[in-house]
Chain A
């Protein structure tokens, strides 16, 4: 029943395209899968070593700088997740007609980054075996407890946001002859007996709208609470009222970059240019551009607010960031994370899928760097005397963080081996609405199920 009232050829082509990652894993896929698996396994071994060899002593942490790459990775990955969920939810709520091809990628990237990111509070614990005490002996005054509550709640909502739209898609594919038995059984379970009656569609739409509405404030709460881990401490550089919105904007910015990069990679690898067309990528790039400018302003605002009052600690920290010790990293962030991506998207000549992919890649790297710059410099400045601290991530940390990044990609690859990469039913429904609007004399629109324009071959 997917793609109702559509020409059969279009629906069949869409189904075939959506199933390409499921049925068409070639040699290159397995090589990539194995390579990422090795990196992830190296990360797992490094974590095992951390547990065996005396906990966090194998990291670059010390008395002064007691947080580092693990906290930065937590903030970065939850941020990536936030962008994916928000793109999907907001585009759905606003009924944006170009959302169809990218909502599934956005939802899967949101879940994958969240699953891996949520591990980092545990990896960061010296005694992870005590994590259960968060549940049985909660400290309601601790931001860490509320972090856990917020992340778990958001994880549930993200899972529902991914699973609900899968109901009609799996129903459409449960008898697909190209699929194996495992897939068909899985699809039969996930489809919940969907036959596509108007009543079922009404129920599903209502549930999806409710989750989409819920996930927006939830995601804001998650990232604001995450910022509390820093801003509720009396430490120069962290204790700032702007941190909540600053974290939220940064999260969406980097999350949209992840969605763009994943969409471009998938469309190229599986020849989905006809469905994930240039217009979709460009629209997402414009969203990223707007968020980049907003994040740039928020950065300026944060630094100015701290520095203007002229308290010694803040000013020292700012000089360290802008001119001294951390200046190379800070200006690298400004160049890679703000100026270059904004320029690449703003200039029409570079606003190609390749240019946009480069911009998204730069944003992802630079935003990770920014998270490190949020965590580390304030800790290097002693609060109660003593020498300035220093921090260099240890090989164990680098292996764990690299393994986590590989893990995110692995989860995405794995999930897309089981679920269609395109939201078949949703794209059909958008096309159906368009056709209806066209029949009623509305302005001519480009059908979503007709070939789109692509310039990257």
Chain B
């Protein structure tokens, strides 16, 4: 009997371990029905509002019912053709409560072919959409106060303050070294003309 009990406990703990080791949600059915939803992806973009700012690409994810797909990770890629066609990652973002995932582009103008891709999970099926976007140059109308300073970068300000005097000091020291060297050499050679050793 003791052996049976031991076997039962071992079997139960093994089952528990396997269940715990499984990725969260695996084996569970979505909405209790066991069917993942199809996701409809739609791409759009927003031009940079002012010169120097960045354009955004927005992927809108929705399920069949039209409800937004929330918490879905969308990977953004860009197709390039130089030295052969291939995809380059632009980054990834997670859909918010409205089903939108956004990334900022570092390109300010030109045509791009952008691809948004969802890998899929137990809740949603994989999906992909591609679209050509055409970013127009935003004219720089200027601003009376000059270009906007990026916020939240105090380190840059420190570097900008410290670097110029540091560089100036380095240049000064090199000049001092060179002029000192020539002065010392001239004097030492003149003084050393009678020294045998």
Encoded as 1 (CB less than 8 Å from any B CB) or 0, chain A from 146 to 186 comes to: 10011001001100100110010000000000000000000
Tell me if A32 is interfacial: C-beta within 8 Å of chain B: no
Tell me if A447 is interfacial: C-beta within 8 Å of chain B: no
Are A207 and B185 closer than 8 Å at their CB atoms?
A: yes
> Which of B3-11, B119-127, B166-174 interfaces with chain A?
B166-174
Are A304 and B83 closer than 8 Å at their CB atoms?
A: yes
Are B192 and A308 closer than 8 Å at their CB atoms?
A: no
Number of residues on chain B facing chain A (CB within 8 A): 41
Tell me if A132 is interfacial: C-beta within 8 Å of chain B: no
Are A194 and B193 closer than 8 Å at their CB atoms?
A: yes
Are B189 and A153 closer than 8 Å at their CB atoms?
A: no
A188 to chain B, nearest CB (A): 13
A425 to chain B, nearest CB (A): 13
Tell me if B51 is interfacial: C-beta within 8 Å of chain A: yes
Contact flag A218-B174 (CB < 8 Å), given A197-B196, A304-B83, A307-B83 = yes
Distance in angstroms between the alpha carbons of A102 and B177 in the assembled complex:
27
Tell me if A53 is interfacial: C-beta within 8 Å of chain B: no
Tell me if B12 is interfacial: C-beta within 8 Å of chain A: no
B131 to chain A, nearest CB (A): 16
Are A153 and B193 closer than 8 Å at their CB atoms?
A: no
Are A200 and B178 closer than 8 Å at their CB atoms?
A: no
Closest chain A residue to B85, Cβ basis: A310
Closest chain B residue to A200, Cβ basis: B192
Tell me if A309 is interfacial: C-beta within 8 Å of chain B: yes
Distance in angstroms between the alpha carbons of A273 and B31 in the assembled complex:
93
Are A203 and B188 closer than 8 Å at their CB atoms?
A: yes
Contacting residue for B110 out of A195, A200, A207, A311, CB 8 A: A311
A-B contact count (CB 8 A): 104
Residues of chain B lying within 8 A (CB to CB) of residue A313: 109-110
Distance in angstroms between the alpha carbons of A203 and B174 in the assembled complex:
20
Are B178 and A153 closer than 8 Å at their CB atoms?
A: yes
Tell me if A30 is interfacial: C-beta within 8 Å of chain B: no
Tell me if A137 is interfacial: C-beta within 8 Å of chain B: no
Distance in angstroms between the alpha carbons of A153 and B170 in the assembled complex:
11
Residues of chain A lying within 8 A (CB to CB) of residue B184: 207
Distance in angstroms between the alpha carbons of A160 and B51 in the assembled complex:
49
Tell me if B88 is interfacial: C-beta within 8 Å of chain A: yes
Are A156 and B110 closer than 8 Å at their CB atoms?
A: no
Residues of chain B lying within 8 A (CB to CB) of residue A218: 174
Residues of chain B lying within 8 A (CB to CB) of residue A329: none
Top 7 A-B pairs ranked by shortest CB distance? Answer: A310-B80, A312-B110, A140-B164, A199-B192, A199-B195, A207-B185, A307-B82
What are 8 inter-chain pairs, A to B, with CB distance below 8 A?
Answer: A160-B178, A164-B185, A197-B192, A204-B185, A214-B174, A310-B78, A310-B79, A310-B82
